[in-house]
Amino acid sequence: MRLRSLLLFVILAPFAAFSQSREPDIRFRLAQSYEQSGDFESASKLYEQVLAKDSTNYLVLEALHRDYIQLKKYDAAIDLVTHLLQRSPNDILWISRLGGLYNLKADDKKANAAWDRAIAVDPSHESTYRAVASSMMESRLFDRAIDIYQRGRVACKNPALFTTDVAYLYSITLNYSAATKEYLSLIRQNPVQLAFTQSRISAYIVRPDGLKAATFAVEDAVKAESGNQPFQQLLAWLYMEAKRYDRAYEIYRGLDATTNAGGHEIFNFAERAFRERGYDVAGIAYRDIITRFPKFDQIAHVKFGSARTLEESSVERDTSNRRVSVSGSRTILSPEPESSPMYAGAIAAYQAVVAEYPKTDFAARSLYRIAVLKQERFFDLDGARLALETLEKNTPSPTVLLDAKLRRGEIYLAMGNLQKAEEILTGMTNQQAIVGDQLERAALRLAELAYYQGKFPEAQSRLEKLTQNAASDITNDALRLQAFILENIAEGDSSLSLYSKGELLIVQQKLSEALTLYESLPKLFPTSTLDDEALMTVGALETAMRRYPDAIRSYSRIEGEYPESVLLDAATMNIGSLYETGLYDKPKAINTYEKILEHYPNSIFVNEARKRIRALRGDTL
């Protein structure tokens, strides 16, 4: 019996011991399970039981600390950590956490004391400051964390420590100036970090205050360290982002010299400035390359760019660039004799490109621009034609060939050589399917040509084909002319023929002749549906000739002579515009626009009239 008991004890004893050693493990797993399900109360009780048996179990300490915080049992958590620190008084991580716990308890004094204690353990090591700052960041005390990092720099005698951390903290606390200074420090330590820095700074320069603060900070740095190229690059980049091209150019010019870039820094700047419509400074940059780097590898591109900037700058300054609408899609180009000197520089620059780099794409594009300027700004049709013919003959660049042909056709039309115009335009449209802007435009011009010549069935037939493509811009123009012909064509009535002849005179800039013709139309065809339209065109021609009082009289006649006209609202709108922008008579302009609201409440001009009244009376909208 005794032997049997002894045998049983020998067999079972290991199992009992195993069971006892397994129990804490099972409790720990159960506690973890409770914790994962969000039952922190049950979890913490089990963890406490496990900890009571093994007070050194780090995993349990961590878990209990976590659960006490979840349960807002900050005192219990503090006791736990204090107990732990009795065993390991120099554990910086746990001392920092103690600071965090006191902060949660809103006991700032003890929190600060704990964090100070953590630093005192090892004040000369960077990881100390990182642990304390991390605890503060968990408590969302970002300003305090910055202070700790700064303190660490001094204590560790290394001002370069924690740069990205501090910069990031400054940026999220909206202190963009300080953030930028930190990033500058990063570049100073390692210039290769310029791109990284730009990516970080770009996050806050989308805000105007961020851009301003960053720019000031970098400007100061550049002044202090004038030889620091990455700083200069950063400043130039900030100026470009702020569209301060003049300032950016100064820096890129300097950088180009110091890096021996041979004009490439300036070229890259000029290209971006041109794309962003900084024409004046782009032009200066292009010309700088031409003067100082005559053997620049893309010099033709540079010279063409310079010419383009001259043209675009002239367009920006050309306040006389006004088109006057005639009813429908037509516009009358006001004669612009005073604009001549303005564009002369651009034309000369284009001509230089043609002379220096013949048979190149830049020469072709230059010739095309010359033609455009001569036709549209000077009405020098021969000059424009010659440029285009040279282009087609010598430099058949595919990029501008179709544009050149179309424009040459239009020029012949304006010159009155209808046969030649038709020949060129027909040549374009016969070559292939009429697809693409230039070919569709050529087809529209052919329809207009037929219309000007009074060949209305032919014009209609051509227009019909152009109205099929709903996605094309040309379709609207085609539909408008098609409807106009349909509305006004009448058997035995040649008023439409006379009217269309007048339009050809307008295309040819024979404004006085057109005026006489349109004035005569109502007398010759007193019952024509075009009489009010003719009077509208008289008003438009007088406007284009800057005879504003006459134009107002002509528009006003429509109301008296054609009270049923559908053009009454348009005529009134034009009168308002003349008072507003021609005669600068604000009260009369407002009265006229109000007349539209009162008399023509369903007019399409109502919204525009309202807008203008409110602008004229200075409403804040």
What is the 8-class DSSP label of residue 332? Answer: E
Give me the least distance between CB of 204 and other proteins, in Å please: 7
CA dist 498 and 76 (Å) reads: 102
Q: Which is nearer to other proteins, 545 or 597 (CB)?
A: 597
Which helix or strand (DSSP H or E) is residue 481 part of? helix 474-488
333: tokens are 């180009």
Q: Which is nearer to other proteins, 176 or 231 (CB)?
A: 176
Smallest CA-to-CA distance from 347 within 308, 315, 386, 313 is with: 308
611-619 long-range contacts, CB within 8 A, separation 24+? 612/576, 612/580, 616/580, 616/586, 616/589, 616/590, 617/590
Residue the block writes with tokens 């390692």: 190
Q: Which is nearer to other proteins, 203 or 604 (CB)?
A: 203
507-513 long-range contacts, CB within 8 A, separation 24+? 507/413, 507/414, 507/452, 508/414, 508/415, 508/416, 509/333, 509/335, 509/379, 509/414, 511/332, 511/335, 511/541, 511/544, 511/545, 512/545
Q: Which is nearer to other proteins, 168 or 379 (CB)?
A: 168
Give me the least distance between CB of 40 and other proteins, in Å please: 6
What is the 8-class DSSP label of residue 493? Answer: B
Q: Which is nearer to other proteins, 540 or 590 (CB)?
A: 590
Task: Kindly give, in sequence order, each residue whose CB lies less than 8 Å from that of residue 468, ignoring residues fewer than 6 positions away.
Answer: 475
Is 371 buried (19+), middle (13-18) or exposed (0-12) by CB count in 10 A?
buried
Give me the least distance between CB of 435 and other proteins, in Å please: 34
CA dist 223 and 184 (Å) reads: 13
Give me the least distance between CB of 1 and other proteins, in Å please: 57
Give me the least distance between CB of 444 and other proteins, in Å please: 32
Give me the least distance between CB of 470 and other proteins, in Å please: 23
**Taking a C-beta distance cutoff of 8 angstroms, is the pair 528, 520 a contact?**
no
Q: Which is nearer to other proteins, 70 or 193 (CB)?
A: 70
62: tokens are 């961590």
Q: Which is nearer to other proteins, 98 or 363 (CB)?
A: 98
Give me the least distance between CB of 207 and other proteins, in Å please: 9
CA dist 240 and 211 (Å) reads: 11
> Hey, which residues does 325 pair with through a beta bridge?
331
Give me the least distance between CB of 69 and other proteins, in Å please: 6
Question: Which ranges of 173-323 would DSSP assign to H, the alpha helix?
Answer: 176-189, 194-201, 208-224, 229-241, 245-258, 264-275, 279-292, 299-317
CA dist 39 and 46 (Å) reads: 11
Q: Which is nearer to other proteins, 205 or 424 (CB)?
A: 205
Q: Which is nearer to other proteins, 244 or 614 (CB)?
A: 614
Q: Which is nearer to other proteins, 154 or 174 (CB)?
A: 174
Q: Which is nearer to other proteins, 164 or 173 (CB)?
A: 173
CA dist 548 and 334 (Å) reads: 13
Q: Which is nearer to other proteins, 478 or 568 (CB)?
A: 568
Give me the least distance between CB of 586 and other proteins, in Å please: 15
CA dist 344 and 340 (Å) reads: 6
- Residues in the site for other proteins, rule: CB under 8 A? 40-41, 69-72, 104, 106, 138-140, 142, 172-174, 203-204, 594, 597-598, 601, 606-607, 610, 613-614
Give me the least distance between CB of 178 and other proteins, in Å please: 14
Give me the least distance between CB of 80 and other proteins, in Å please: 16
Q: How far is CA 495 from CA 73, 226, 458, in A?
A: 97, 76, 18
Give me the least distance between CB of 597 and other proteins, in Å please: 4
